[in-house]
Chain A
Amino acid sequence: MRNPLRSEGEAYRFLWIVVIGAAVIVGAAYINTWLGVAVAVLLFGALGWWLWGEPVPGAADPPKPVVSATPPGMRRVLVIAPPGTASVPVPDGAEVLVVVPALASTSESLTGDVDDRRADAEATAAALAAAIPGSRAEVGADDPALAAEDALRVFGADEVLVVGDGEMLDAVRERVAIPVSRA
């Protein structure tokens, strides 16, 4: 969609488009009221066509993979574990953040019926935080890749460990630009 107010120059140009359009409508309405209405409808349609005619810049671009880094001398690991995970082997001495995506079915997501799924994820997160010494655990988005992306924006990590199937692993790999492996 075209944004007529994207810049001052475009806003100024849009102002004159509106001035000309208003003048045409007024002229038509002086000839005949219904002609004015018809011209107004036509011009509003043309305006809509013009506004929708341009794709949003960058909308078709693939999302940029999230890069991440840790302070020198530190090793940080992000673990993506689905609900029900009992334990995860993590490297010794690493600072660990476990994110449990609140996985839900399509119908549950669409209807917002995710309370039970979120409770499952919270229970798993609490269990994993207790099972992995020195780790933190929290509940993430219902999409594992999005959960990883969200976590990396506030937790710089050296690598991501994914507990789950190959599909989940591939989905996370596509979204982040740091090493991703299966736990």
Chain B
Amino acid sequence: MSAAAHAEAHEHHGPPAPHYSSRIRPETLGMYLFIASEIMLFGSFFTAYFFVRIVNGTPWPTPPYHLPVFVAGINTVILMTSSATMHWATTAIKRGNVWGMRAGLTLTFLMGLAFLISQIFEYMRAGFATKDGAFPTIFFCLTGLHGCHVFVGLTILLFMTIRAFRGHFSADHHHGVEIGGIYWHFVDVMWIVVFTTVYIL
């Protein structure tokens, strides 16, 4: 019996295929569970932030420190633009435009990298450290936690981009781009929450 015939026989006999009770592809479900755990992790840090700022009444930012709102605003624009290029990449590959996807993923990666580098410089020039009290501690924890997620997102993006240039994705097969895109947008959503609560309000 040939391998193909054997595979066909195997397909039609014996126990049924594993059942996906959730109606969601396992990879996507895995990403959802990962994001759910991330939301809980961010939730614990935001709880600490609200406790320090609202319950304890710690001035925000505590004088004489200042938050680099302008730089963070520029970073926000960079991150929002990277989401747009990520969406462009996904839309492109859905239409079979491989070079559009490659360009979109490369731009997204570069902008994510720019955000991270900018955040590192922001830390170096902040003028305060975690030892300086509750405000700097929470500031570094929240923004640092988000920075870690950007780093994870960049790692995913790097692999996606490499795979894109190796021709792994097509109009019919682009699940890897879709899942990575969901994570990248989630990271951006969290940044909007962090930027609004920590820098603006």
Contact = CB atoms under 8 A, between A and B. Distances in A.
Interface of A: 3, 5, 7-9, 11-12, 14-15, 18-19, 22, 25-26, 29, 36, 57-58, 66-72, 152-156
Interface residues of B, number: 31
B165 interface: no
A12 B23 contact: no
Interface string B10-32: 00111110110001000000001
Interface stretch (B58-66, B121-129, B183-191): B183-191
Helix, strand, loop or mixed for chain B's interface? helix
B177 interface: yes
Contacts of B181: 8, 11-12
Contacts of B32: 3, 5
B16 A67 contact: yes
A15 B83 CA distance: 9
Given A8-B86, A8-B181, A18-B193, A154 B201 contact: no
Given A8-B90, A11-B182, A156 B192 contact: no
Contacts of A19: 80, 192
B113 interface: no
Contacts, number: 80
A149 to B, nearest CB: 9
Given A11-B186, A18-B192, 18 more contacts: A3-B32, A5-B32, A8-B86, A8-B181, A9-B87, A11-B185, A15-B185, A18-B189, A22-B192, A26-B200, A26-B201, A36-B201, A69-B13, A71-B14, A153-B19, A155-B15, A156-B13, A156-B14
Contacts of A15: 80, 83, 185, 188-189, 192
Contacts of B178: 7-8
B187 to A, nearest CB: 10
B78 interface: no
B182 A7 contact: yes
10 contacts: A5-B182, A12-B86, A15-B189, A19-B192, A25-B201, A26-B201, A36-B201, A66-B16, A69-B14, A153-B16
